[in-house]
Every structure is written in structure tokens, then in C-alpha cells.
Amino acid sequence: MAIENITMPQLGESVTEGTIEKWLVKPGDHVNKYDPLAEVNTDKVTAEVPSSFTGTIKELKAEEGDTLSVGDLVCTIETEGAGGGEAVEEAKPAAGEEANKSPVAGSQNEMELSGTQGSAKPAAQKGAKGRYSPAVLRLAQEHEIDLNQVEGSGRDGRITRKDLQQLIDSGSIPKEGTAPAASQPASEPEAGAQGTPQPAPKSAERKEAPPAEAAPGDKEIPVTGVRRAIAANMLKSKQEAPHAWTMVEVDVTNLVQYRDSLKKEFKEREGFNLTYFAFFVKAISQALKEFPMMNSMWAGDKIIQKKDINISIAVATEDALFVPVIKNADDKSVKGIAREINELAAKVRSGKLTSDEMKGGTFTVNNTGSFGSVQSMGIINYPQAAILQVESIVKRPVILEGGMMAPRDMVNLCLSLDHRVLDGLVCGRFLARVKEILENISKENTSVY
Amino acid sequence: MPVMSYINAITLAMKEEMERDEKVFVLGEDVGKKGGVFKATAGLYDQFGENRVIDTPLAESAIAGVGIGAAMYGMKPIAEFQFADFIMPAVNQIISEASRIRYRSNNDWSCPIVFRAPFGGGVHGALYHSQSVEAVFANQPGLKIVIPSTPYDAKGLLKAAVRDPDPVMFFEHKRAYRLIKGEVPEDDYTVEIGKADVKREGEDITVITYGLAVHFALQAAERLAEDGISVHVLDLRTIYPLDKEAIIEAAKKTGKVLLVTEDNKEGSIIGEVAAIIAENCLFDLDAPIQRLAGPDVPAMPYAPTMEKFFMINPDKVEKAMRDLAEF
């Protein structure tokens, strides 16, 4: 139930007023929408004023013979509750007008109507809320005025300096924590039921996640260029690329034996270590050649399959992470890769790595095993399509073909993939191929040179 | 107190100053026997003779140069340019010589001269009889620029300009000459150069302007008052150097400021006024500083419709005022 106003319509372009010639209804009469209410005579035409609502005539506001200006109240109609889908539409502008004229009356009106009105908050009134001029903010601060409780008289309801000056002069300053019921947003369950987007709960959500604050004694570390770049890249990748994850375990007993047999001699001859990691990079490069889809990038409207196989490797320092690139890794021998890993790592640690040496990577291999990890979920090195984590090689009892159990050197390979580019099938096949290559490494079929 | 037109107040000021001090003399095109193209010097030739009211050739550089030379020798010239539009050949004399001599000579020399010129549009003057040129001179330390809006201010400021020990540019809005009338005391008074004047007290918005536009603002303010909007009007009077204190005070009063000039918008005096307000009044401002000015095209077309388009008028000022009041 709501009371609706019928106002004098504009019955012609230059018409500013009309005279009630004859009432066609009386209080208590039931009228349907578009039913004639009164005959009105203007200097141009005689016309009927139609009802904008279905309901019961509540009160006639003018006598026959009275002349009313366009927009003046003619009569009021009590509309019939929840069925009033049409009434809601009509009510909106009326509520808006009321609210603009008198803020207090406006909010009462709003509350009265809220049962039927749904989302009919006058947008204009809230338009400039939350945008304050420097003068308004200063006055609000000086006089501890809670601006949420102030109704603005400026354009779109903006709170003006004069609004505050008048409050200050009148002495009735709305302080925080003394909010009158009228200006509080509707309670949350109700808002939910109405399906009305309420600004207040939203801002409350935002307040729940303030930036971390340092307590006394905490150390604040400024975010430097490298840290900022890492943060930006990681965030971009994690936000943009839908990550999927998979893992295989590989029996690298042969590889361990082979590498151990060469290790000492290699170091003496070449002057740097022959690491397991070099074998992994070599095997992965070889498999990438066979599965070019793994070596590709998301480019919005297309996927770019890269010709070159340039392996980014992650090298950590105390406080940062760099990803230098082994270019054309598929062309290089295990020794060549080992040398390059060694050189790039040395450059990272001495701070001599150039930005060129970090460019052009097409696939990333991350040696997480070097710090003891056995399982990890890498974040893809954007815009590449996948990252492979080589975990620690650990001795585990394994049941071999034929049912025998033996201690074997096992390693987990974990793959994070951009699911826009890659699907499980190709990744599974790729990993199976890497596994096959690695498990078949031996003195007989694999040369490090 | 007698009511007189803006131009008569100017004539009276010159007459009184010439009577008071025989070093004061007038020079310019047609200022003598004809009494000036607008009759600003009417009667002075008859009263003071050809040695103190000197007709010059059509050579603005010479009008300025001769005047400057005389001023440096202790005379008090009032040099008239027939139209401000024609001042350009004299700019070198005015800026390079008149405005610099005190500084350049470490106070040994000075140049107490007044350069008078009618400016502004709205009289169907077309391109070379309508321009506002004040901004050309408004960043030249050593100069003062005065633009009075009322007959009272015109007389008082011109007398102050004549007595000023340094060069003063005195721009008179030619449409104000006979349009604007007001009470002017017959006694000897001056209006201090460098002081703005509140022409109307108000609470809701502040309008800062100068010259003829002051009257547009006052008329528009009258209309707004009928709707309960109260307008504060500050008349700059001296536009260089600006009366910063008065500008800041007027801006702070309402926090909503409209600046009006007839000049082209970009690079005009009111841009500087806006800067002063921005520098000093941030926490009192309740609305963006607004400017109403001529479009950025040469002032101004001859066709009456186009002249009307270019010129500000009470309607345009009223609209801008209402817009700001509603903000």
C-alpha cells in the first residue's frame, strides 16, 4: 500500500496551468490506471486527466473551478500493495522529486515505498555522494562532521560548503556513531531479498582487507625494482593464465650412476660441475622439439608456437629470483648446457647478468630440487605456456617389473601449464617422453659432449 | 554629487590634474583641437593650449617615445592611443624603455607617464577597434595596468596614475564611455592603484572580473538575487600587479569562484587570478574555479551576430553564475 500523487499534467507546449472543470471521481472511488479523474480546462484545450495508477481515490486536492499550475497536486490515490508493478514505475520519479525538494521527507518516502519499490533509489541523489570538495573535507575534519549523514543541496546531491556551514552555525552537527535511522542503508538480509545492489556492504567488504600494517619492532622492507618486477610478473601470470598442474615420477637411477661415474673426471677436465640439472634441461629440450605445442605462447587471439627452444632457468639469490635463458638449448650438448648454467648462475650471483640474457625464453625449467623440494607448483613464467619443476632426487624403494623391490633414485617432475594453450593430453605425452628419455640415459646411448 | 558618464569622469580627471600640476600634458592623435576621437580630451585644448595638449602624427611609437623621454626629464605626460589595438608599434618603447628604466638605472631615472587607451568590443568596431590587449603587458615588472569599471574609479584611478612615479597603462572600455554613468565627487580624490574593490557583497558565489564585465556581473547578480542566490563581486581595478589579498579573501568567502574577462580565454589575466586562488585557497574551494572569457580567436568579428557570439554579456555571465551556484 502506498499513497501516490496525481499532479496537473502539461496539456500543451506553452500551457502552464489548468482549471479543474469537473471531478469525475470522489474519495473512496476505485480507479484503474488510465481512468479519467477530472476534466481540466486550459486556455488551449479541455482534456481529461487520467489516473497514473490503479487504486482508491484518497483525497481530492482541488475544488471544481480551481486553477492549478502544471505539476501541482491534484489528488492522491492509495495504490494496492504488492501487485503494483506498474505503480512502482510511476513512483520512481515522484520519490526522486520529493527527495530533491526535501532530503528528510525524501528518505522517509523511500522507506515507505521500499516494500514495493525494489531498486528505486533516486540515483541523482546519490550521484555526488562520496565526492567532496577540499572545503567540505576541511570543514568536516575541523568540526568532526560525519559526512555520511549530511544531505547535500548541490548538483546531484553534492554536499556543499554552505551545507556544512549551515550545520555548523545551527550547532546540530552529525557525529560519527550517532547515525539516524533514516540515512542508514537497508539491513543486509533485506537487501539480499530485494536483490538490490547496495553500496554500503560493498564498501564494508573493502574495509575487511586493509593493507598490512607494520607494528612497532617490525622491519619494513621497501619494494625495490626487482621485487616489484617479480611481484608484477607473478601476479599477471597467476591472474591471467589459468594454471593447471600435473606431476610424474621418474626413475633416474641410471642417470645418477652415469653422472657419478663422470663427475670427477669432468670437473678436472672442464673446470665446472656436471650437474644433474644439465641432463634434465637437455632431455626436456629434446622432448620440446617433439612436442612443439609445449613451446608456445598465448597471444590473445592466437597461439604462437616458437621455433627456437630457449630454456629459462630460475636462479635464486638471497632476495630475488632471476630467469636467465639458455638459448637454442636443443642444439647444445649436456656439457654445453652445463657450462651455460654455470656461467649464467655465476653472473646472477655477481650481479652481472644483462637483461638480454633474460630475454627470449620459451619454456622454463626450475631446479626446485636444489633446495630439497620434492613437490612444488610453479607459477608460469608469463607469457610462456608451461613451467617444469625438477624436484630432489631421492632414494626410494620401488617395485620393479617382475615384482622385485629395489632402492631406486626417484625424482618428481612437476608441470604447471597454461590451460588456455595446453590440455592434459599433450602435457601427459610430453612428460611421458621426458620420463622416457631420462630413464634411458646411460653411458651407451648418451654422450655428454 | 553630480552623476556623469565614464568618459566625462576621465576628462575631468585630466583637467583637474593639468590644473593642479603644470608638468602634466596630453599627447596623442587628434587629442587637441578635435578633443579626441571619443572626445575624452574635449575642452582641454581650449583651456590649456596647444603646448599642453599636443596633436601627434599617426606614429604610436613616437607618441610613446616622446612621452617617455619627457617623463624621464621630469614631465608628467598622458599619452593617448586612439585604440588599444594600435598600441602594438609602441610596445617596444613601453616595455623596453618605460617599464625598465628605474630598474636599469638603479633608481637614477624614472618614467612617470600614463598611457591611456580605449579597448574592448561590443561597439561594432570589428577586428582593429575591439581588442583587449592588457595581457600583452601583464607580465612586465615596472608597469602597472589599471582598468576602471565605474566613473568614480575612473577619475580617482586616473588621477592616481598621473601622480604615480612610474609608468601606468590606463585602459578604458570604450563601450563603457557613455553607457556607464555614476556619481563622481567634484573634489580632488584619488583611488589607490593596486587595490581591488568589492562591488557587491554576497555569500553563495564569488565573481572576480574587471572593466565592463563588472557591470555584466552586477546585472546578473541582481537577477540571481531574485532567486535567493547571493553573489559576491570583486572588481580587480588594477590587473597588474594583482591585489592578491583581495582575490584570496573574495575567493575564500564563498569557495565558488567565477572569473570573467572579455579577453581571449587562454593566457588572459584571469588565468593568473585562478593561479593565485589555486595556490592559496585549496581548502576553502568548494567547486572548480570557473572561467568565462572570449573564445580563442582574434577579437572580434564585425557581423553583429558574430560579435554577440564573441562578447560576454549579462546573459552569459548569468548562466555561468547559475551553473556554479548549483554545483
Interface ipTM: 0.81
CA distances to A1, A6, A31, A373, B157 from A52, in Å = 15, 7, 10, 74, 66
Q: What percent of chain B has pLDDT over 70?
A: 100
Angstrom distance (rounded) from CA B185 to CA B155: 9
Q: Exposed/middle/buried for B75, CB within 10 Å: 0-12, 13-18, 19+?
A: middle
What CA–CA distances, in Å, run from B53 to B43, B47, B56, B212? 10, 9, 10, 28
Query: Which one of the listed residues B124, B129, B173, B232 is annotated catalytic?
Result: B129
Answer yes or no: do B286 and A138 touch at CB < 8 A: no
What per-residue confidence (pLDDT) applies to A14? Answer: 56
- Residue B21 Cα, gap to closest chain A Cα (Å): 51
The pLDDT tens digits of the residues spanning B203-236 come to 999 999 999 999 999 999 999 999 999 999 999 9
Q: Does A202 touch chain B (CB under 8 A)?
A: no
Is the pLDDT at B274 greater than 80? The verdict is: yes
Residue A217 in any domain: the answer is: no
* Interface probe with A: pick from B283, B322, B326, most Cβ of A within 10 Å: B283
B281/chain A closest Cα distance in angstroms = 9
* CA–CA separation, B5 and B184 (whole Å): 9
CA distance B177 to B278: 34
Of the residues A138, A155, A161, the best mutation for testing chain B's interface (the one with the most B CB atoms within 10 Å of its CB) is A161
- CB proximity A347 to B under 8 Å: no
The answer as to whether A275 is a domain residue is: yes
Nearest to A133 among B203, B204, B287 (CB): B287
Q: Show which of residues 140-199 on chain A sit within 8 Å of chain B, judged by CB atoms.
A: 154-155, 158, 160-162
Distance CA(A355)–CA(A323), nearest Å, equals: 10
CB-CB under 8 Å, B326 with A155: yes
pLDDT score, position A127: 54
Q: Which residue has the higher pLDDT, A38 or B274?
A: B274
Separation between Cα atoms, residue A315 and residue B200, nearest integer Å: 74
Task: Please give the torsion angle defined by the CA atoms of residues B270, B274, B276 and B281, in that order, rounded to the nearest 10 degrees.
Answer: 150
Grid coordinates 630454456 are at which residue?
Answer: A311
Would residue A68 count as lying in a domain?
A: yes
Domain boundary among A41, A68, A97: A97
Shortest CB distance from A160 goes to which of B283, B284, B286? B286
CA B61, chain centre distance (Å): 21
- Whether A51 maps to a domain, the answer reads yes
CB contact under 8 A, B285 and A134: yes
DSSP A369: G
CB contact under 8 Å between B286 and A133, yes or no, is: yes
Nearest Cα residue to A278 out of A231, A336, A338: A338
Answer left, alpha or beta for residue A21, where phi above 0 means left and psi between -120 and 50 means alpha.
alpha
Taking CA–CA distances from B256, the nearest residue in chain A reads A161
Q: How many CB atoms lie within 10 A of CB A416?
A: 25
User: CA–CA separation, A339 vs A314, rounded Å?
Assistant: 16
What are phi and psi for residue A293, nearest 5 degrees? -60, -30
Catalytic residues of A: 419, 423
The residues, ordered by sequence, that sit 6+ positions from B151 with a Cβ below 8 Å of its Cβ are B4, B5, B6, B8, B9, B180, B181, B182, B183, B184
Chain B 95-154, residues with CB within 8 Å of chain A CB atoms: none
Under the banding of pLDDT at 50, 70 and 90, the label for residue B68 is very high
Which residue positions in chain A have pLDDT lower than 70?
12-15, 43-44, 81-129, 177-210
State the Cα–Cα distance between residues A174 and A247, nearest whole angstrom.
62
Is residue A25 included in any domain, yes or no? Answer: yes
Biggest CA pair distance of chain B: 59
The 3-class secondary structure across A114-146, one letter per residue, is: HHHHCCCCCHHHHCCCCCCCHHHHHHHHHCCCC
* Of the residues A67, A97, A127, the one at which a domain ends: A97
Residue A112 lies in a domain: no
| Three-state secondary-structure class, residue A335 | helix
CA distance A323 to A361: 9
CATH code where residue A266 lies: 3.30.559.10
Domain presence at residue A113: no
Residues of the domain holding A13: 2-97
- Tell me how close the Cα of B290 comes to any Cα of chain A, in angstroms: 14
Residue of A nearest to B287 (CA): A133
3-class DSSP state of A267: helix
Domain count of the fold of chain A: 2
Q: Looking at A80, A97, A114, which one is the last position of a domain?
A: A97
Rama region for A171: left / alpha / beta (φ>0; ψ in -120 to 50; rest): left
Cβ contact B92:B62 at 8 Å: no
Is A118 part of the contact surface with chain B (CB cutoff 8 Å)?
A: no
Distance between A141 CA and the closest CA of chain B, angstroms = 11
Distances (CA, A) of B274 to B213, B244, B248, B267: 17, 11, 10, 11
Q: What residue in B sits closest to A133 (Cα-Cα)?
A: B286
Q: Which of residues 42-71 of B touch A (CB under 8 A)?
A: none
Q: A12 lies in a domain?
A: yes
Chain A hits for B287, Cβ within 8 Å? 133
Q: What is the CATH number of the domain that holds A91?
A: 2.40.50.100
Of all residues in chain A, the one with the smallest CA distance to B288 is A133
Based on C-alpha coordinates, what's the Rg of chain B?
19
Residues 6 or more apart whose CB falls under 8 angstroms from that of A432 comprise A248
The pLDDT score that the predictor gives to residue A69 is 83
Picking from A135, A155, A162, the nearest residue to B283 by CB comes out as A135
